[in-house]
Amino acid sequence: MEIASHAKEKSRTGHRPSLWRAGVLLSALLLALPILVVFGYLFVPAGDVWQHLVDTVLADYLDNSLRLVVGVALGVLLLGIPTAWVTTVYEFPGRRLFEWALLLPLAIPAYIIAYTYTGLLEFAGPVQTLLRELTGWSARDYLLPDVRSLGGAVVMLSLVLYPYVYMMARASFLGQSLSTLEAGRVLGAGPWRVFFHITLPLARPAVVTGLSLALMETLADYGTVQYFGIATFTTGIFRTWFGLDDSAAAAQLAALLMSLVFLLILLEHYSRRRLRFFQTGGRYRHLQRLPLVGIRKWSVFTLCLLPLLFGFLIPSGQLLIWALSIAEETLDLRFLALVGNSLLLAALASLLTLALAIFLGYGRRLYPSRAMTFAVRLSAMGYAIPGTVIAVGVMIPFAWIDNRLDAWLRETLDLSSGLLLSGTLFILLFAYAVRFLAVALQSVESGLARVTPNMDDAARSLGEPPLGVLRKVHLPIMRGALFSALLLVFVDVLKELPATLILRPFNFNTLAVRAYELASDERLADSSVAALTIVAVGVVPVILLSRAVSRSGGRDAESA
């Protein structure tokens, strides 16, 4: 039977499988190239600069990166799990609003929240000014912890990354069978014991998935740690690349960073493999929300309000105030050009990525095989890899090709091609495709999964030719998925900072780059318009996401 159905898939579409298959394998190889290049540098003999790094800063990089990871892990768990739990099992004022609003901090890139709080808390900022006015103290009378520190970075990153844990934990809590929990109660466990001994262990694989997403982002962060002056792998790669001008040593740092990421992936993979054993089967009844009263009602309300307040409302409010104060001077043609650049880049990148995702997704559906699955997985790996690492991995081979091409042209035609690949938008688009293919692919594949092979056959037997099937069945069913793929990549590209900083063509600016540069120059208010634009655009996929989250809850309720 297995063989028969397998063979059936193969013959379904018949004619030119080899061309498509070769295309998929080739694109996968191309998309994996940056990662392979960086990995390759693990085996390149180390140079002087590397030795210098090892002697001086490598221990700091490792130390700071690990502290950051541990700190953010604690932060996102503490913020994400309790909020997920109370919005699942309790009824309290604003519960329905919090359900999706708690995702909002995800819209703010970490580097933006970092310098917003720096501006809020600096000596001349509103908080300290207010404090002095209220107490009559002078600057020497009090001591606030410096936000520009490792601890500060942990807080900033936790505030915008906890939604990953919140989202995954909540989905898991919602999916748990009430009977399991009731069985625990009947066996004599109190609500707290049930939570720690049944609910939380059942949700653990999901929580680990959310956690590892948050930690990947932490390792990938460049803007925050650079702004706060913390030496980590990402800042180290920049410094080695631009400061010490040693691409090999930068690539070796990148390879180390990538190894850390792979450790995370392994952890996630391991816990996910156990996920299916944890899933409760088939029919279950939905959790009934318990109404809270009195002091408990308001403490739970506060518990949910705080992450939303500090992770979204305060920073975006501050950005808005800044933006309004300088709107007149900033909203000029140069700003419009900046917006134009960003939109153009995001549009091109998302179309390219979507096209690739469709090509790979259909390839795997039409000609399923182990090799195809492996190729598609390989090409989707970029999402876990920090933008800095991808930038290094893209730049090295492209620059090599450019140099060769240039040398060859000079020799044969006495022409210079310049930096045909590495100096143009091409390299940036390619890097975005590597980094964000997984996002588009996930949407495309979930859309494709809704079109079963039998639907193709049914449409054919009802008189539609293949193109008609594509137009009347595939496109309408997949439209939503394709649109959200486009949108998600678009927004991700708009927010992306480190790869854009390294790979952009000379004098080509985007919103993210401009916001970051102005903030680095301590011109916080000036950067606010660009930052606010990024946040506003970033809210769109969060709303999509929140709709998906509440829908999944709704579907559970229906099937209950």
Partner 1 sequence: MRSPLEIDRVHVAYGDTPVVKGVSLKLEPGEIGCLLGPSGCGKTTLLRAIAGFEPLRRGSVVVDGRVISSTTTTLAPERRGVGMVFQDFALFPHLSVAANIGFGLSRLGREQRQARIDELLRLVDLPEVRDYYPHQLSGGQQQRIALARALAPRPALLLLDEPFSSMDVELRETLARQVRQILKRERTSALLVTHDQSEAFAMADRIAVMEHGMIRQWDSAYHLYHNPADRFVAGFIGQGVWLPVKRDAQGVLQSEFGPLTTRVGPSEAVTEMELLLRPDDVVKGGPGLEAEVVEKAFRGAEILYRLRLPSGVEVLYITKGHNDMQPGERLTVRLEMDVEVLFPLESMTPSGRM
Residue placing its CB nearer to partner 1 in the complex, 126 or 453: 453
**Residue number with CB closer to partner 1 (325 or 452):** 452
Name the residue among 387, 339, 345, 359 with its Cα closest to residue 489: 345
Q: Is 3 in the site for partner 1 (CB under 8 A)?
A: yes
Q: At closest approach, how far in Å is the CB of 457 from partner 1?
A: 6
In this complex, which beta carbon is closest to partner 1, that of residue 454 or of residue 507?
454
Residue from 126, 476, 505, 554 that binds partner 1 (CB under 8 A)? Answer: 476
HEC secondary structure over 261-299: HHHHHHHHHHHHHCHHHHCCCCCCCCCCCEECCHHHHHH
- What is the closest distance, in whole angstroms, from the C-beta atom of residue 14 to partner 1 in the complex? 8
Q: Does 138 bind partner 1 (CB under 8 A)?
A: no
Q: Contact between 269 and partner 1 (CB under 8 A)? A: no
User: Residue 290, class by beta-carbon neighbours within 10 Å (0-12 exposed, 13-18 middle, 19+ buried)?
Assistant: exposed
User: Do residues 548 and 484 lie in contact, with contact meaning Cβ atoms separated by under 8 Å?
Assistant: no
Instruction: Give the Cα-Cα-Cα angle 306, 310, 315 (nearest 5 degrees).
Output: 155
Nearer to partner 1, 219 or 459 (CB): 459
Q: Which H, E and C letters describe 29-70, residue by residue?
A: HHHHHHHHHHHHHHHCCCCHHHHHHHHHCHHHHHHHHHHHHH
Nearer Cβ to partner 1 (151/480): 480
Contacts for 124 with CB less than 8 Å, ≥ 6 apart: none
- Rule CB under 8 A: say whether 560 interacts with partner 1: no
Say whether residue 473 binds partner 1 (CB under 8 A). Answer: yes
Exactly one of 74, 355, 415, 458 binds partner 1 (CB under 8 A); that residue is: 458
In the list 450, 471, 523, 551, the residue contacting partner 1 (rule: CB under 8 A) is: 450
Q: How far apart are CA 485 and CA 446, in angstroms?
A: 10
Find the binder of partner 1 among 36, 452, 471, 536 (CB under 8 A): 452
Looking at beta carbons only, is 185 or 472 nearer to partner 1?
472
Could you tell me the smallest distance in angstroms from the CB atom of residue 555 to partner 1?
Answer: 10
Classify the C-alpha dihedral 257-258-264-266 as positive or negative: negative
CA dist 203 and 176 (Å) reads: 8
494: amino acid identity, one letter = L
User: Does residue number 12 form part of the binding site for partner 1 (CB under 8 A)?
Assistant: yes
Q: Which residue stretch of 115-123, 195-203, 397-405, 455-463 sits at the interface with partner 1 (rule: CB under 8 A)?
A: 455-463
| Residue number with CB closer to partner 1 (395 or 481) | 481
Q: Does 556 bind partner 1 (CB under 8 A)?
A: no
Residue 191 interacts with partner 1 (CB under 8 A)? no
Give dist(CA 519, CA 521) in Å, integer: 5
472 binds partner 1 per the rule CB under 8 A: yes
Q: Quick check: 552 binds partner 1 (CB under 8 A)?
A: no
| Residue among 56 and 454 whose Cβ is closer to partner 1 | 454
**Extended beta strands in 57-178, E state:** 90-91
Task: Count residues binding partner 1 (CB under 8 A).
Answer: 26
Per DSSP, 255 falls in state H
Closer of 61 and 367 to partner 1 (Cβ):
367
Site stretch for partner 1 (CB under 8 A), options 112-120, 206-214, 322-330, 469-477: 469-477
B/e letters for 485-519, b = 16+ CB within 10 Å, e = fewer, are: bbbbbbbbbbbbbbbbbbbbeeeebbbbbbbbebb
User: Which amino acid makes up residue 456?
Assistant: D
Phi and psi, residue 327, nearest 5°: -50, -45
Q: Residue 418, interface with partner 1 (CB under 8 A)?
A: no
SS3 state at 379: helix
User: Using CB under 8 A, which of the segments 7-15, 181-189, 380-388, 399-407 binds partner 1?
Assistant: 7-15
Under rule CB under 8 A, residue 197 binds partner 1:
no
The residue (of 40 and 453) whose beta carbon lies closer to partner 1 is 453
Q: Which residues bind partner 1 (CB under 8 A)?
A: 1, 3-4, 7-8, 10-12, 450, 452, 454-455, 457-465, 468, 472-473, 476-477
